[in-house]
Structure 1
Amino acid sequence: MRIRELSVEGAVEFTPTALHDDRGLFVSPFQETPFRKATGRPLFNVAQTNHSRSRRGVVRGVHFTATPPGCAKYVYCAQGSALDIVVDIRIGSPTFGSWDAVRVDPHSFRSVYFPIGVGHAFIALENDTVMCYMISGEYVPENEHALHPLDPDLNLPLPKDIPLVISERDQVALTLAEAEQQGLLPRYERCREAEATLWA
């Protein structure tokens, strides 16, 4: 398992080794020992798993959970391919306003750990792109928020050659500046406190 710290503080990319033979392949997208090495602790208790299928050009996000309670994620792509994006929206974070992107697919089986408080977005690069998530908290609608994926202040690396498909919810989402003005963005200190409770 190769480990790479992303440019958003606390976010990590994991790339496992796939074992190929004449039957196909076997791979472990999550392994606790490398995760502990990278983060200093075990994976959170998984409260929910999610599975999404998207056609080419679908953009999901930028989504985030109010903190507290906050929500950490471990995400990989089981089919197709996507550009998975982590956005630091935690006020007070040393990397506030920055993003990093990882191409995820069932060839590299890269996975991404999203710490509590960051924003998450991805764009499907192929039809029938399947994303799989392990999540530290259950879905509670009133805690879920979104930022506009085309916010010029975020300047996300969305491909110019793919027509984008954006949900109605995300089309009317706030910009980063508007969300900050309305007090919706997580605070870095509260995110760190919420993360600590995951392993208490």
Structure 2
Amino acid sequence: MKVEVQSTELDAVLEVRTGRVADDRGFFAETHSVEMWRQAGFEAEFVQDNLSKSRQGTLRGMHFQIAPHAMGKLVRCVQGAVFDVAVDLRAGSATYGKWVGRELTGDGDLCLWIPEGFAHGFLALEDETLVHYKCTDMHAPETERALHYADPDVGIEWPIEPSIVTQKDAEAPRLVDVEPSV
């Protein structure tokens, strides 16, 4: 299957479509092969896969890891729907502090590539939402950082009000208190 890649408002954050073949049985989609990503121009090596299940209104984020374990993510919704967001935290970037968001659904083939240097989070728009993401580094708690999901200086426009937020995410620092990444 051919991967289609399209730019977003933030350079380096990409919309990725892996395609599907549908028939009377349902559909088939090839979601990962080294050759598929190489042909699409991806240099990333994925070393860890994560899967999360969320109820409607659950907000997870905005998370990132700093060097030496900065992490890129390829995010896909496999069931339900999420509003997936990336915030640019790259030192010296012309779009530092800006965000981009896309609705990802289990019925579609749209994925979001979020490279190192960006905070990432999502809001579940439906119950029983499953999100799968491929990571370019291992989870390293000592390098975990977070950005407040409702920081007015960033201004993320969530499509619904988050109703389930961990204390850790609710107490995350604002952009002015976060050191630039990468």
- TM-score, normalised with respect to structure 2: 0.90
**Once the 2 structures are TM-superposed, how far is the Cα of residue 30 of structure 1 from its aligned partner?**
4.2
**Alignment correspondent of 1:19:** 21
- The 2-side partners of 1:119 and 1:15 are apart by 22
Q: CA deviation at 1:154?
A: 1.0
State the identity as a percent. Answer: 32
Q: Secondary structure at the match of 2:68?
A: coil
SS of corresponding position for 1:10: coil
Give per-residue Cα distances to partners, 1:57-113, cap 9 Å, x unaligned.
111111010123311111101110001111101120122111111111122121111
Give the match's secondary structure for 1:64: strand
Q: Give the Cα–Cα distance (whole angstroms) in 1 for the partners of residues 96 and 38 of structure 2.
A: 25
* Counterpart position of 1:154: 154
Q: CA deviation at 1:29?
A: 3.5
TM-score (norm 1): 0.83
Residue of structure 1 in register with 2:63 after alignment: 63
Separation (CA, whole Å) in 2 of partners of 1:41 and 1:3 = 10
CA distance in 1, matches of 2:99, 2:37: 21
- What SS does the aligned partner of 2:176 have? helix
Counterpart contact for 1:19–1:27, Cα < 8 Å: yes
Runs of 4+ more than 6 Å apart: none
Deviation digits for residues 104-129 of structure 1, max 9, x if unmatched? Answer: 11221211111111110110000011
Instruction: Return 5+ residue gaps in structure 1 as ranges.
Output: 192-200
- Give the C-alpha shift of residue 37 in structure 1: 5.6
8 Å Cα contact 2:83/2:159 also seen in 1: no
The question of whether the paired residues in 1 share the 8 Å contact of 2:76 and 2:132 is answered with: yes
Residue equivalent to 2:172: 173
Check conservation: 1:3, 1:34, Cα contact below 8 A: no
Report the Cα distance in structure 2 between the residues aligned to 1:13 and 1:30, rounded to whole angstroms.
Answer: 15
1:92-171 matches, cutoff 5 A: 92-160=92-160, 162-171=161-170
Q: Give the structure with the larger helix fraction.
A: 1
Q: Give the letter aligned to residue 185 of structure 1.
A: P
SS of 1:165's partner is coil
Offset, 1:163: 4.6
**Structure 1 residues 117, 163: closer, same or farther in 2, change over 3 A?**
closer
Distance 2:5 2:159 in 1: 26
Q: Which runs of 5+ in 2 are unaligned?
A: none
Calculate the aligned-residue CA RMSD, in Å.
1.8
CA separation in 2, counterparts of 1:103 and 1:32?
A: 26
Distance across 1 between alignment mates of 2:85 and 2:120: 6
In structure 2, relative to structure 1, the CA distance for the partners of 1:163 and 1:119 (3 Å cut) is closer
Secondary structure, aligned partner of 2:74: strand
In the aligned structure 2, how far is the partner of 1:123 from the partner of 1:150? 12
